[in-house]
């Protein structure tokens, strides 16, 4: 059996004897194995082995374009023609809920891209769009499900009579 406390103590002593700069420099270049020449270069691994293929870099403006599309949908629903298409019940309600679902999905779509490309402010905007879409849907769904108090604009019925 191996005494792990002794082995770890040896590793700690070796790490303490090396400066941080040497340790970082050594970790950047992999050590050559015994019997192998240092001139051998690692061959590129083909993508057919199940590894993820190299991701093409995207332009920064495309990330912000996605956020602008999601923000445009979120602001656009404020201009829903309530006089022509009331959302109290029936098909117009379901169309409105579909619009709120589209806003939420667009926020998630832009949120994934902003997360991948480390765009902090744009990611916060995407999260706000997601919360806005969920909030708009909740104002219509919760009174009808019995969780919130219904009123004249938010009745308890889904379908018009």
Q: Are 107 and 78 in contact (CB under 8 A)?
A: no
Q: What is the pLDDT of residue 58?
A: 58
pLDDT averaged per 10 residues, the chain (length 161) = 85 83 69 49 49 59 91 92 79 92 97 91 96 95 87 81 78
Q: What is the pLDDT of residue 41?
A: 45
Find, among 148, 134, 140, the residue nearest to 88 by Cα: 140
Q: What is the pLDDT of residue 37?
A: 45
Q: What angle do CA 141, 147, 153 make, to 5 degrees?
A: 50
The dihedral region occupied by 146, where left means phi > 0, alpha psi between -120 and 50, and beta the remainder, is left
C-alpha dihedral sign at 148, 152, 154, 160: positive
Q: What is the pLDDT of residue 25?
A: 74
DSSP code of residue 79: G
Cα 29 to Cα 12: distance, rounded to the nearest angstrom = 21
In the chain, where the domains are located: 60-145
Cα 140 to Cα 100: distance, rounded to the nearest angstrom = 10
Cα 138 to Cα 145: distance, rounded to the nearest angstrom = 10
């Amino acid at each position: 059996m191996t005494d792990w406390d002794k082995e770890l103590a040896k590793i700690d002593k070796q790490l303490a004897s090396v400066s941080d700069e040497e340790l970082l420099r050594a970790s950047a270049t992999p050590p050559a194995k015994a019997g192998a020449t240092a001139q051998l270069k690692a061959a590129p691994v083909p993508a057919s082995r199940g590894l993820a293929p190299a991701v093409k870099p995207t332009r920064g403006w495309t990330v912000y374009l996605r956020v602008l599309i999601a923000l445009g949908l979120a602001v656009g629903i404020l201009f829903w023609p309530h006089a022509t298409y009331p959302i109290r019940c029936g098909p117009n309600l379901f169309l409105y809920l579909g619009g709120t679902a589209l806003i939420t999905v667009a926020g998630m779509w832009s949120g994934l891209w902003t997360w991948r490309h480390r765009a902090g402010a744009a990611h916060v905007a995407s999260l706000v769009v997601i919360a806005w879409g969920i909030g708009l849907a909740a104002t219509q769904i919760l009174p009808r499900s019995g969780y919130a108090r219904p009123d004249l604009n938010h009745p308890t019925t889904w379908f018009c009579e």
